[in-house]
Amino acid sequence: MQKDNRTGLPAFDTSGRYESGLKSLVKSLQWAFAILFALIVLMLIYFFSWGGYFSVEPQQAVIVMRFGRIRDTLTTGGHWYFPYPVHRFIRVQTNQQFLKVAFQQSQVNPDEIKDSFEPGLDNYLLTGDANIVLTSWTLGYKIADPAKYYTTLATPEKPVDNGRVAEDDEVVDANGFTGRRGPRTLLRNLFRQAVLRVSATSKVDELLASGQARYSEAVQREFAKLLRAADCGIELESVVLDQVLPPAKTKEAFASVTAASTTMSTLRNQAEAYRVETANDALAREAEILAAATTYRTQTVASVKAESSYFRSILKEYRSNPRPVRMALFTSALSGALTDLGEEKFVLSSGGAKRQLWLRLNPEPKRPADPEEKKAEK
């Protein structure tokens, strides 16, 4: 390559040997600049249009953060903000979610029943009367304050990932133990604390028999109190006690006690039903006797009053006309005495007058009535 004698630098070749290469280089640079310019224009258009637009999905909330600080919490509609790195959009699920919590004995072999519990490995509950029970629960909760939920708890970077609630982050402590850290882990630990407190003041008979509803309500109240104290934007919806069981080794003994308790309750219910039935029958019989006695008293009093009125009226007439009244009473008494006799009656009165009595012997019997005549008479 030739050099310039005055400057010592390579001299520009004026022979034209590199002219076509230089033109190709310039043309390539022009095309690259044009493409880069178009790319920058497209990026600016995207940045100021579609890049910052988003819509809030149903049962979700979107937290808008500007340079790391929360600006808005949106729950509905479509919105536009400057995109990343100016703003970040964090989606949080706000519908009701469920969490399973169980206090169960760990088993490597499901067919093997362990003779004892190992603290730190098995999950179990101690009751107030020094018994062991195993329970399983289902919690229902929702995120009432998404901003507080995201900033207060160690939530994953993306609480909702591909339309699903993200699992808590996995961490390793100083001793090398692997665990999880996040909102669901916090809820599980708070609920375990509530169950431990309530179980420690309850009796095993209540938990396995008739007191399960009160036990569940007490756990729900205690857990709601702990959740309010945490002030993490989560609202409790429901607490359901799925099952409560004694340890497998003592299940038969508890089953016998439960069966005896059930039998006792059944006999008590039968006795109570018999008592109620007997009392109702006695009350009905009492009412019947009282009603019959009242009716008899009313009828007797009315009959006595009627006889008294009749006697008074006869007495009044007798005092006025003794002979006719006496004759009328005699005739009435005689008529009543002869009512049950047959058709042929003969009454012979005493007296001094000479009287004759004619009797017809063998009277002609009455002819039975013809059925056709009876129909005609009808």
Condensed to tens digits (0 to 9), the pLDDT of residues 249-259 reads 777 777 787 78
323: part of which helix (H) or strand (E)?
helix 322-337
Edge to edge, the sheet with strand 69-74 lists 69-74, 60-66, 87-93
Res 238: pLDDT = 93
Q: Check: CB of residue 202 under 8 Å from CB of residue 215.
A: yes
Mean pLDDT of the 214-233 span: 93
pLDDT digits (tens, 9 = 90+) for 282-300: 999 999 999 999 999 999 9
The pTM score is 0.59
343: part of which helix (H) or strand (E)?
none
Q: Which overall architecture, per CATH, does domain 96-106+117-246 show?
A: 2-Layer Sandwich (3.30)
Distance CA 234, CA 152 (A): 11
Res 18: pLDDT = 63
Dihedral sign from CA coordinates of 299, 300, 304, 310: positive
The answer to which of 166-180, 286-300, 333-347 has the lowest mean pLDDT is: 333-347
Res 353: pLDDT = 57
- Give the largest Cα separation in the chain, rounded: 208
Res 335: pLDDT = 72
Q: How is the chain split into domains, by residue range?
A: 16-48, 54-91, 96-106+117-246
Distance CA 79, CA 131 (A): 58
Distance CA 253, CA 378 (A): 87
Of 18 and 258, more confident: 258
Q: pLDDT confidence of 113, banded at 50, 70, 90?
A: low
Q: Check: CB of residue 93 under 8 Å from CB of residue 57.
A: no
Res 6: pLDDT = 57
Res 207: pLDDT = 85
Dihedral sign from CA coordinates of 256, 258, 262, 265: positive
Of 204 and 344, more confident: 204
Compute, in degrees rounded to 10, the torsion defined by CA atoms 128, 129, 132, 135.
Answer: -50
> Would the pLDDT of 8 be above 70?
no
Q: Please report, rounded to a whole number, the percentage of residues in the chain having pLDDT higher than 90.
A: 29
